[in-house]
Amino acid sequence: MQKYYLAYGSNLNLDAMRFRCPSATKVGVYYLSGYSLQFRYYLTIERDEKSVVPLGVFLIDEEEEILLDEYEGYPTLYRKETFNFTLDGKETNGIIYIMNDGQIPISEPSDNYLKVCLEGYRDFGLDEKYLLKALDKVKNS
């Protein structure tokens, strides 16, 4: 059974995603209101009523979900939540990984991780300002 996966960090990078989940299909973009990006070395999202997070939407199968669970350190490092969203005018839902509190403190990403994420933003045609705002926030905290 296939399901939607909502990506916001390194998994936006199509080369990285092809390596992790070879048959995942890029299907679109969704903007999640009420959240912002946060660097805890790796990216996560946090509640922020005034912000929006751009997400890449993939279609994955059960085997790829297991691979993503392993990559994301589920359930210890990241938890998995289901979000309702609209894709092509239709209501649906998808999974998203959110870092568990207390796992990694707010901290700057490595240059390589940031580069992979920036390439992912370009792969999806997303405005890098969202990512750079999160980077500025962690550098100034």
**Cβ contacts of 128 within 8 Å, gap of 6 or more:** 118, 121, 122
- Cα dihedral 106, 107, 113, 114 in deg (nearest 10): 90
Q: Could you state, in order of their start, the residue ranges of all structural domains in the chain?
A: 3-139
CATH of 3-139, one of 3.40.50.300, 3.30.390.50, 3.40.50.620, 3.10.490.10: 3.10.490.10
Calculate mean pLDDT across residues 101-113. 96
Predicted local distance difference test score (pLDDT) of residue 110: 98
**DSSP state for residue 107 in the 8-state scheme:** B
Instruction: Tell me: pLDDT of 141 over 90.
Output: no
Per-residue pLDDT at 58: 98
Closest CA to 7 of 50, 52, 43, 47: 43
Spatial distance between the Cα atoms of 130 and 74, rounded to a whole number of angstroms: 25
pLDDT digits (tens, 9 = 90+) for 33-65: 999 999 999 999 999 999 999 999 999 999 999
* Average predicted confidence (pLDDT) for the chain: 97
Please state the rounded mean pLDDT for residues 76-98.
97
Q: What is the largest CA-CA distance in the chain?
A: 44
